[in-house]
Amino acid sequence: MKSFFESHLWPLKNRLYRFAILWLKDRDKAQDAVQDTMYKGFINQEYLATISNPTGWMVKTLKHEALQQIREAGKWETMDDVGDLAMEVSPEVDFSRKTKMVFKFIEKLPERQKEIFFLREVEGLTHKEMATYLEINEGQVKVELHRARKKLKSFLENYGK
């Protein structure tokens, strides 16, 4: 019989890694943050088995790990500091120029909008799940998602011109 960790927490590792990449923009740092989070999940698995949303606990823990790494590195990147950063994609994937531009556009969204857009469009989370993960209310999630989509729509309309 599998432990709670093996059946409920371990399967989250890939999702957590994608979050870590989004927040840290560095594979090694993301792997470290996920490893630390998984360790905390392992040692707290008895507690996590009793709460209603262990996935939310893991995501919050990962976010705290990522923030801690950023603090320790002594730098807070703004979008101006990031420059021409593109999302990491597999080298064998041949994206069209327009798709690459969309990825760059998404990277330049304000951090909160980028997180919410990612959680909804990539991870497929509900508004309620996003609100839980980000520790904000559902109304704010809807507003930020609407703003991100509106900016993307405007970008795509202007890109074709």
Residues 65, 123: Cα–Cα separation, whole Å: 20
Q: Check: CB of residue 48 under 8 Å from CB of residue 72.
A: no
Each residue's pLDDT tens digit, 101-136: 777 788 888 888 888 888 888 778 889 888 887 778
Each residue's pLDDT tens digit, 33-92: 999 999 999 999 999 999 988 988 898 899 889 888 888 877 544 434 433 433 444 444
* pTM score: 0.57
Question: Token pair for residue 154?
Answer: 């405007």
Residues 64, 69: Cα–Cα separation, whole Å: 9
Give the other-Cβ count within 10 Å of 159's Cβ. 12
By CB atoms closer than 10 A (0-12, 13-18, 19+), residue 48 is: buried
DSSP notation for 118-144: HHHHTS---HHHHHHHHTS-HHHHHHH
Domains in the chain (CATH in brackets) are 1-76 (1.10.1740), 81-161 (1.10.10.10)
Overall residue count recorded for the chain in this entry: 161
Q: Check: CB of residue 31 under 8 Å from CB of residue 17.
A: yes
Instruction: Tell me the residue type at 148.
Output: A
